[in-house]
Structure 1
Amino acid sequence: MLKEVLAEMPWSADVALYDVLLEEAVQKARQLEESGQADVLVTGGANATVVEAQGLTLPVVRIKVTGFDLMQALWSAKRLNRPAVVMSYQQPVPQLEWFRDLFRVDVTQKVYRDVDDAQEQLYRLLQDGEPVIIGASLICELTERMGGKSIFIYSKSSVRMALETAVDLAVQRRAEIEKREKIEAMMRAVHDGIVYVDTDGTLREMNPAAEKLLGISVHDALGRPARELVPELQVEEVFERGEPLLNVVQKGKKGMLLVNRIPVIYQGKQIGAVATFQDADMIQQAEKAIRKRVHHKGLVAKATFEHIVGRSAALQKAIQKARHYAASDATVLIRGETGTGKELFAQSIHNASRRRQHPFVAVNCAALPESLLESELFGYEEGAFTGAKKGGKPGLFELAHRGTLFLDEVGEMSLRLQARLLRVLQEKEVMRIGSETIIPIDVRVVAATNRDLKVMVEEGTFRRDLYYRLNVLSLELPPLRQRLDDLPELLRHLLEKYGMAEEKRAEVLARFPALLSRYDWPGNVRELENVVERMTVLAEGGFSVDEMLQEIVRELLPDEPALDQPALAKEVESWERQRILQVLSEVDGNKTKAARRLGISRSTLWRKMRAYSLDMDG
């Protein structure tokens, strides 16, 4: 029956069949568990009872006798006009009495303890008459050997249900194993030491980096009290305070450690704590390496408002507001999606301000770990920590003295650093790490974020007082999808920047804006720049404009139907006509201004107006 059911199943699970009974079934189950050859075991009757009693880690799915199975078996027995006997392992079938009265069938019930007992009972039953024996595979097999008539108690639907349950369990188990293996791989890969301690203070998990940093073996550590094994981590403080303890320098057996201790909360209840820690010397070495890679873009702002490309009303409104802000020394908060040009506006504000002759210092708050960002912003004194630069190091606030400090992605800053930043903004003075000397500073701060800081304030991940301190002058930058009128000008600027050949550039400018205006540009101008750079590379490789257009459309607008040449030409003409009408309206019909804004000559504008039957005198 099992093979028939498997053939009917809609999936192709890898199922191995074993014809074993009782002790043999137990031995096979243990063997499959030890070898890892099975995800789940499916069995029934006596085998299910003895295998479940072994306490295996492998899940066991029992093929259950349903009321329908019993009813079907009794009905089959009644049709044979012979008395029936139901034999079960160790426990009687509870529903049998009810079904016997319902079907008025001559049926008795027998319970056996083991194979020998089953054989003895069957022998007596078959000697005394010709009953139909109802049972699982063992009983049916023994009955047939003795020349009796048997009915298999399980139906196809019961077997199918057990197999479906087993497949679901196997999929879940593999997913859990895969998830666990991924976590273990990450634990092995990270250089930070990681330990997990339960609420009893017992060390339950430890990664290889922790073994190395603490100088102990995971086999010796797990299951032992963390307080006596790794007192330098002081994990018990988390249980006492119920809140994270971050960036605490502790002396370990093999050197100084920078330790973070974080409570683990589940459904509002603290169930343990995680401690992560690093070698302080390694942090300083990493600081030196990161400094070489992180680009603070020097101390000079290169961009001005004239570098901002676009004439749309939304962009011009932002530029006008930014020019007005440049005359002030108040803090500016620039909000905008990724790729909208937040640093371009920050540099432009600086270069239009009275501070333009002084430093412009930029830092990306998301690019540096908390400890390194702190030393970068506020500086440190000689000997403040192992590996500190001789003579100390001035922070970015000091470097930006009398100039502008641009804090990009300020929403990624930790709450602890937010508190230090707030104090600097309020007091206009800074204290280096490891120093007791207060240094007065004169710095204008421009911050930027692509996150909703108001929401973060309500969620408790951004300080309310710092938000109000930063949001004195607010500047919202429009995403590209809200200023699609700027697409032709942006496209022309980027094509010139990347040096596309002039003949192909003209064809791209004539045909691409109509199609690109359909796309939402989630990556904004940065994404557009990537597209233009790719087109330039393709053009240099000999690709035609048609080929480039089809490739870009397939990527950006996968749901759009493919456009043939006539349809494409019609699309371009319709868009170009509307664009000319719009620009003429914006410049009150001045053909010279309209041609300049459209990036074409006056004669070309006249020719296009004639071709599109536009009012030449309007």
Structure 2
Amino acid sequence: MNKIVDNFANEKIQIFNEENFEQVKTMILDKVDYVVLIRNNTPIKIFPVEKGKIAEELCITHFLVGKENMEIDLEKYKGEIYLVMGNNDEIKGVVTFKEIICYLKNALKAIEREFELVKTDLEAFMACSEDLACITDGTGRKVRISSSAERIYGLKPEDFIGKNVAELEKNGVYFPSATKIAIEEKRKVTVIQKTKTGKKLLVTAIPFFDEKNNIKRIVSISKDITDEEKLKAELKETKALLKKYEEELTSLRAVHIKSSELIYRSKQMEKLIELVNRVAPTDSTILIYGETGVGKEVLAKYIHNISRSGNPFIKINCGAIPENLLEAELFGYEKGAFTGARSEGKPGLIEVADKGTLLLDEISELPLSLQVKLLRVLQEKEFIRVGGIKPIKVDVRIIAASNKDLRELVKERKFRQDLYYRLNVVPVTIPPLRERVQDIPILAYHFLNMYNEKYGRSKQLTNEVMEVFMKYPWPGNVRELENVIERIVIISENDQITKKDLPGELLNQEETNHSFGVHVSRLMPLKEATALVEYQLIKQAIEECGSSYKAAEILGVDQSTIIRKLKKYESMFL
């Protein structure tokens, strides 16, 4: 060190000042090994320069060792200088303490300017967000809060500054305090908070720690969820009401249903009615297929009310009238047309249905000899009475209904092909009741209200009765269900209808279902029958096991397979 002092005395050394202080920073950073503190010509301490250490850090950590503040009497340190040394112990320059202090003051001013910019940015960020942002110190004392505090808490931001969260919680401004919990548990916390103003907030408080794991700051973000909670409550209430309405589905609706309206709930019927609604306003001929009792006449009346309401709706069962009388019933006759005929003649049902609708039920039973005459009505919109010679023009819409496949009858030469194509313009098929079990409750309650009103009763169906109805295959379809409801309304002794009031065939079928829970009650394609049996087996397994997981275990498949098949088959059979 003495050599360094000697060199200092003998060499002409550049003294760095405020103007050229940047030069020493470069030397310290790139070309210098160490800096020596000289006091009264005596080396006091050597500060080695670490490779890559920045000059500002070197000034703070080495040049100001032991000095607590910047307000120093510079005259006191006149004899204190710093030598900037090179790699070969040559003196690069001299920096006085005064120049270092001046430089650091300027650096501090730059830091303060940067801090003000950061402060401005933080305030802008907190002000622009609708969510409430708050910063507290490690004790829970609020140091900063966004302007939305007034909207949420009803207090101005300045009313919060310096207040402790525990004090605010105690005074009822809000509860609970997420910041208080975060301090106590030293972790991120999210709570639902209620305010004195009646709002509900979702508050997340995040603590920030120093190197000793002490909390320095807690930042909390509060989102106003008052409206969301209100919507959730309303949604929950609405769902409860919907469930209640669903349980009382038809008892609330069926009272207002007219006899000509359709009663349904199943997806199959919904799709069918969508088709019918598109076709009904036109004059196209409609051919309705369906088993006996499914409601073909009801559907025909529905179509009539859309297209020709206020005009005649005439129905004739082609299989219920002898062939020798059917022609006269349909086409009418002139006076003296045959023995026993009225002297004044008689108009036929086609003529009576003019401007309206004629339903030809069981059209498959229409004799071949009359099929030709009906074809002329469809093609020419005219006919000739029995015994007459003058064509009569009519404007009548023909709706045919059949429980037999007319295509097969055409192949067997029991039905005219040309008439089949005239009738089969828009074919619709009403599915049997067993394939649309969702319609059973609504139909049952409709008939119950109807016969309660007719017979002056107040009967009610119990859940056990409805369970029997849902499992019974209803070979007679809707007509059978109506007959069963009428019977039990009349003969049941109590207002509450129970299983003991049901006909024997329904209970016998339930026992059969209990012993073997799957059935196929009609001929169908093998692929469809297999799917139906599999669907019924899955339903039975879930009912008996109580969950799809246990059902899957019993049936030897994955639970996901059960859910997938159940969803697929419900779209097919419900």
Q: Would the TM-score normalized by the shorter structure come out above 0.5? A: no
TM-score, normalised to structure 1's length?
A: 0.40
Radius of gyration: which is bigger? Answer: 2
